[in-house]
Structure 1
Amino acid sequence: MPLMMDAKGNRVARQSPYESAPPRKPLLNPEQKKKIAHRVALALLLIVPLPMASVFSYKEASDSLQFPEDNLFPDVGLEVAPPARTDRAISYEPPRVRLTQGQREARIQRSTAALRAEQDLMGYVKSAVSDQIVPSAAVEIYLEQQPAVKIYQGLESHRSQPIASLTKSFTAVAVMTLVEDGLINLDAPISRYGVHVSRPEFGQITVRDLMLHTSGISYGSTLPSYAPGIRHQYSNGNYAHLATIIENASRMTYQDYLEQAIFEPLAMRDSSASPGIKGSSGIASSIHDLGRFGRMLLNGGHLDGAQILRPESIQEMMQPPAFMPVTEHMEYYAHGFRVEAHHGRVKTFFHSGLWNGTFSEICVYPEDRSVVIQLANPVSYHSEALGGYRYRVTVLSARYVDLLARNSLAPSAMQPVTARFKNNSDQP
């Protein structure tokens, strides 16, 4: 303790100012301390998963608490309101599906295989362009309506180009919208809609015959050369007549009706129909827009609030010609799409377009919940290398989506893999 001198020079001890202060009032009295200790102990009992705590529910513990009217901290002056009560019990229900060790290992293997398939696809597209198999290419894959892979090799997402015969799928969808509106009957003769090409000796051609390519109109012609409904023969003339039927039924031009019925509702801003060639080809689009069209088909006819077709119409479009026997494995041209069906279920439906300088394809895999879109710029329509490229990309894409879908990977939790490669001629 510091010392100081009095008036006579005697040393006296200096008194601390705290020694003369009145005794400090305790913050909590014994009763309040007891209540707080009780609450802390009960809180620990509710939080810590001890065996004893498991016999209590939250409601029982809450009801056992007594909230006094007096303030727990009178000296501090805080108004502490009692916690709100709840009658809802906290419970946890474990997952109903439990994987065995073998199933877990198989899922890991499929996941690893899917990553390898993804790398194989990206690597092949890059090498195909660098080897000049195709000067430029783009591939997009969607799973559960979400992008899984995007590959751009000299083509960008919104770059528009002719899609050639893939136009037929758009024409078929446009016809089905008019069927839903009651303006077209698929089994009515085409003469009802102003198309007079049927020959009396062959019988009446129906709208369905045109869609299925079973009208008897040969490739390169617009007139029938045999009776309708007996066999399939792919012909651009069928879909040229369908464009005329669309115009007569809707009282609009073919290109205006596609804009109103498909392009605008689906926000396909990169797409347009040429006023020249109609029905069989003539549409230009981008891989972005084709992806929206394909996802609409996968989703039962609607996308992002836009209803283009009812699911029943999509189902009708998948049906084979009446003369074709139903077998376990079927491949046929349906209403605007080629279809592969196994055991009565559609495995995939697709259409492609090919001409000098352009290749396009949409493949929809309903069971795998996925869509694969391809665009490329081949040098020649007759390029054998293009056929190999198309086949290889289709196989690699199908393998990838099959592995990804069976592994139940959630695409919403994944970032789409986007790859952009430079051509050999590009400057870094």
Structure 2
Amino acid sequence: MSGKQEQLAAFVETAAKEYGVPGAAVAVLIGGEEIHVGQGVTNVDHPLPIDAHTLFPLASVSKSFTATALMRLVEQGKVGLDAPVRRYVPELRLADEEAAARITVLNLLNHTAGLDWNLVDADEGDGSLAGFVAQLDRLPLIAPPGARASYSQAGYNLLGRVIENVTGLTFEKALAELVLEPLGLSETVFDLDDVVVRRFAVGHHRAEDGSLTLARPWKSWRAGLRGNNPGGGVVSSASDLLRWARFQLGEGEGLLAPETLRRMQVATVELRGSTLGDAFGIGWFLRDVEGVRTVGHGGSGNGQFAELLLVPERDFAVVSLANSGPEGYQFNQAVLKRALELYLGVVEREPEPLPYDEERAREVAGRYEIDAMNLDLAVAGGRLTLAVGIKPEIRAASDAQMPPDYPAAQIGLLPGEGDEYIVTEGGLKGQKGFFSRADDGTVTGVDLGGRLFTRT
């Protein structure tokens, strides 16, 4: 084991203890060499050691697979990026008919379609993508198509239906034929029947007394149906994810032209004050870290968190998979930062918030919401705090065990005129976002995790 590998392994072990993560798989690709670190166990009740081939749900990292498959269809002349989605999904109906007619494939790929995050009750149908799309007329629209970026799971699930209609295959079969099988990604699957015959990590939630409970259902608290697979249903290993990273950093391996891969890593829409990045490419978040251009995507499932980060100019990638929430998010961020420092000499510095301003704090205080969650900003004791969680009525109506809410944690406003903020403590520590205003200056929304929460 090399010196740097020993340092990485020691850091992963220490960070897992600090954040209380039962198990993690970390992998680095540097100059063609692979480095793997397995830490802890798959399941606190029935423990097995985690290794490079242990399966984890990737959640939203799945979007990079969906986008790549879609770009293969673009290269084949079967889909146009600027074409209306209705050309490929004529059955699409939305609450706004004009928006339904205007949304393009690229709008879905870069989250500018104006669609809210997702359908809360998509499990009312038969679980298929066709059934999911049939319910989209109930999904709120948060902006006209192309007006702004807002992260949408529903948009990527709709892309899955584009792929189905164009290929005549189920989304899962199409993704296998277009991407997974040609690249030899044999540990990348969807179906639980393909998971249980391999070693896999179980998600965990930390209770108020500090104990860990197993997260059920396994893949997602949102029913885990096929209709959610394009946006968040891929299951994979650290080993396969490094293989995926090699492909994205390479010359296309005969599947995609090199210029198409590079095009996916170029900004298509800028982002304001977001932890996720400075811009969206196609299927990727783009972020400048101390002058170094990075390309990546993260994901959060039911007690599980995933991160994949690429640095194209340095032939570098890092994967971090953790099986505990909410601490797994903080663990993964710490691993990414340490890997960038250890292998590339890049030290990321967090912005310093302004001193507390009571007037500005009271201006933004209030309740904000998306379809599934409430976000509360409150002023108390000289602090501005942010709490976010699943709506109580949704919890009450669901049989699934859902992730715990994020309790109130302090946030600080950042310098400048952009109404940006940073969370300074708790499970969302380091998350950045910004406030939206109406023409008269009234605060109307807040962005968190790339999603627009509207003020109620």
Tell me, yes or no, whether TM beats 0.5: yes
- Report the CA distance shift for 1:308/1:153 in structure 2 as closer, same or farther (over 3 A): same
1:300-319 correspondence runs (5 A): 300-302=251-253, 307-319=254-266
Identify the residue that residue 304 of structure 2 maps to in structure 1.
358
- 150, 169, 174: which is aligned to 1:252? 169
- 360, 371, 374: which is aligned to 2:320? 374
Residues in 2 aligned to 1:267 and 1:214: alpha-carbon distance in whole angstroms = 32
Give the secondary structure class of the aligned counterpart of 1:239: helix
Residues in 2 aligned to 1:243 and 1:197: alpha-carbon distance in whole angstroms = 16
Identify the residue that residue 426 of structure 2 maps to in structure 1.
none
Residues in 2 aligned to 1:362 and 1:159: alpha-carbon distance in whole angstroms = 16
Identify the residue that residue 347 of structure 1 maps to in structure 2.
293
Give the secondary structure class of the aligned counterpart of 1:367: helix
Identify the residue that residue 127 of structure 2 maps to in structure 1.
none
CA RMSD after TM alignment: 2.5
- 17, 20, 38: which is aligned to 1:152? 38
Residues in 2 aligned to 1:135 and 1:322: alpha-carbon distance in whole angstroms = 37
1:255-274 correspondence runs (5 A): 255-274=172-191
Residues in 1 aligned to 2:320 and 2:183: alpha-carbon distance in whole angstroms = 19
Residues in 1 aligned to 2:117 and 2:24: alpha-carbon distance in whole angstroms = 29
- Report the CA distance shift for 1:346/1:314 in structure 2 as closer, same or farther (over 3 A): farther
Give the secondary structure class of the aligned counterpart of 2:286: strand
Q: CA deviation at 1:239?
A: 0.3
Q: CA deviation at 1:387?
A: 3.4
Native 8 Å contact 2:109 2:282 kept in 1: yes
Letter in 2 for 1:398: L
Identical columns (%): 30
Q: Does 1:402 find its partner at 2:348?
A: no
Q: Does 1:231 find its partner at 2:129?
A: no
Native 8 Å contact 2:305 2:328 kept in 1: no
Q: CA deviation at 1:257?
A: 1.0
Q: Which moved more, 1:121-130 or 1:288-297?
A: 121-130
Residues in 1 aligned to 2:171 and 2:81: alpha-carbon distance in whole angstroms = 18
Q: CA deviation at 1:144?
A: 2.1
Letter in 1 for 2:28: I
- Report the CA distance shift for 1:197/1:225 in structure 2 as closer, same or farther (over 3 A): farther
Native 8 Å contact 1:157 1:286 kept in 2: yes
Identify the residue that residue 321 of structure 1 maps to in structure 2.
268
Q: CA deviation at 1:117?
A: 5.7
Native 8 Å contact 2:103 2:113 kept in 1: yes
Q: Which runs of 5+ in 1 are unaligned?
A: 1-114, 405-428
Native 8 Å contact 1:346 1:366 kept in 2: no
Native 8 Å contact 1:165 1:353 kept in 2: yes
Residues in 1 aligned to 2:159 and 2:314: alpha-carbon distance in whole angstroms = 32
Identify the residue that residue 296 of structure 1 maps to in structure 2.
247
Q: Which moved more, 1:262-271 or 1:217-226?
A: 217-226
Q: Does 1:218 find its partner at 2:116?
A: yes
- Report the CA distance shift for 1:121/1:166 in structure 2 as closer, same or farther (over 3 A): same
Q: Kindly provide the CA deviation profile for residues 9-32 of structure 1, in whole angstroms up to 9, marking residues without a partner as x.
A: xxxxxxxxxxxxxxxxxxxxxxxx
Native 8 Å contact 1:360 1:375 kept in 2: yes
1:5-154 correspondence runs (5 A): 118-131=5-18, 133-147=20-34, 149-154=35-40
Residues in 1 aligned to 2:239 and 2:152: alpha-carbon distance in whole angstroms = 28
Identify the residue that residue 204 of structure 1 maps to in structure 2.
102
Native 8 Å contact 1:352 1:361 kept in 2: yes
Identify the residue that residue 169 of structure 1 maps to in structure 2.
64
Q: Kindly provide the CA deviation profile for residues 42-69 of structure 1, in whole angstroms up to 9, marking residues without a partner as x.
A: xxxxxxxxxxxxxxxxxxxxxxxxxxxx
Q: CA deviation at 1:319?
A: 2.8
Q: CA deviation at 1:324?
A: 7.3
Residues in 1 aligned to 2:306 and 2:269: alpha-carbon distance in whole angstroms = 29
Identify the residue that residue 287 of structure 1 maps to in structure 2.
238
Residues in 2 aligned to 1:163 and 1:301: alpha-carbon distance in whole angstroms = 22
Identify the residue that residue 333 of structure 1 maps to in structure 2.
280
Native 8 Å contact 2:4 2:342 kept in 1: yes
Q: CA deviation at 1:321?
A: 3.0
Give the secondary structure class of the aligned counterpart of 1:273: coil
Residues in 2 aligned to 1:261 and 1:359: alpha-carbon distance in whole angstroms = 26
Q: CA deviation at 1:294?
A: 0.7
Larger Rg: 1
Q: CA deviation at 1:391?
A: 2.0
Letter in 1 for 2:322: A
Residues in 1 aligned to 2:246 and 2:8: alpha-carbon distance in whole angstroms = 21
Q: CA deviation at 1:138?
A: 1.3
Q: Kindly provide the CA deviation profile for residues 194-247 of structure 1, in whole angstroms up to 9, marking residues without a partner as x.
A: 152453444600000000000000113444342111111001000010000001
Residues in 1 aligned to 2:19 and 2:29: alpha-carbon distance in whole angstroms = 27
More strand by share: 2
